């Protein structure tokens, strides 16, 4: 219960003001817990941030999973998954925490590891479905999944860093879909 409260409070603060703008004193005050309670659950502010980031990533994967659940056609599955992801990237909280702050707070390697841990399964699922249905040529899905995940990550960063995320989201969709179409058989 205390851990969940700390995550909820810090998530709201990190989303509004970014990692650097949130002192731990404010987190504990707003969560109505002691500093000792914070450090019982988290090593430091960075560890708290990591937990918030992972929670966001898990929720994102669950949300996209719900969007694609029951879709049988591999082309539709891939398109719906990509569009759902791009839509999520326009959320200011996700953009601030997972895309703007996480790479610098966690470091690129750890940020990519978390991204891969949560997103890789969905990407691989879509690619394997496409291969099973003959939409894409058979190949080892692992390297391809990494490359597609990288393209999705770059699209997400373009959206998060744009002056108008909604416009950027619309601009990246067509090239990203063209990239996926290029992987498919005629």
Domains of the chain by residue range: 45-183
Q: Could you list the mean pLDDT of each consecutive 10-residue stretch along the chain, which spans 186 residues?
A: 96 98 97 96 97 96 96 96 97 96 95 90 94 95 94 96 97 96 84
CB atoms within 10 A of CB 13: 19
Per-residue model confidence (pLDDT) at position 116: 86
Return all residues near 168 (Cβ < 8 A) that are at least 6 apart. 158, 159, 162
In terms of Cβ atoms closer than 10 Å to its own Cβ (0-12, 13-18, 19+), residue 66 is exposed
Q: pTM for this structure?
A: 0.92
pLDDT at 123: 95
Among 98, 108, 183, 114, residue whose Cα is nearest residue 148: 183
pLDDT computed for residue 45 by the predictor: 98
Residue 97 has a pLDDT of 97
- 45-183 folds as Tetracycline Repressor; domain 2 (1.10.357)
CA 30 to chain centre: 26
The one-character DSSP state at 97 is I
pLDDT at residue 17, rounded to an integer: 97
What pLDDT shows up at residue 112?
87
Question: How far, in Å, CA of 39 to CA of 171, rounded?
Answer: 43
What's the pLDDT at 186? 64
Axis crossing angle, helix 74-88 with helix 141-160, rounded to the nearest 10: 30
């Amino acid at each position: 219960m205390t851990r969940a409260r700390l995550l909820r409070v810090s998530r709201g603060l990190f989303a509004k003001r970014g990692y650097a703008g949130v002192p731990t004193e404010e987190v504990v005050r707003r969560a109505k817990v002691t500093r000792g309670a914070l450090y019982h659950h988290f090593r430091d502010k960075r560890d708290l941030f990591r937990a918030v980031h992972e929670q966001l990533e898990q929720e994102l994967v669950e949300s996209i999973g719900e969007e694609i659940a029951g879709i049988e056609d591999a082309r539709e599955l891939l398109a719906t998954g990509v569009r759902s992801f791009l839509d999520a990237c326009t959320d200011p909280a996700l953009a601030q925490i997972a895309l703007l702050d996480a790479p610098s707070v966690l470091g690129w390697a750890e940020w990519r590891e978390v991204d891969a841990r949560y997103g890789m399964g969905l990407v691989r699922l879509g690619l394997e479905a496409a291969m099973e249905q003959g939409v894409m040529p058979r190949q080892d899905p692992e390297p391809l999944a990494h490359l597609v995940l990288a393209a999705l990550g770059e699209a997400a960063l373009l959206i998060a860093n744009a002056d108008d995320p909604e416009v950027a989201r619309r601009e990246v969709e067509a090239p990203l879909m063209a990239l996926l179409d290029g992987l498919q058989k005629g």
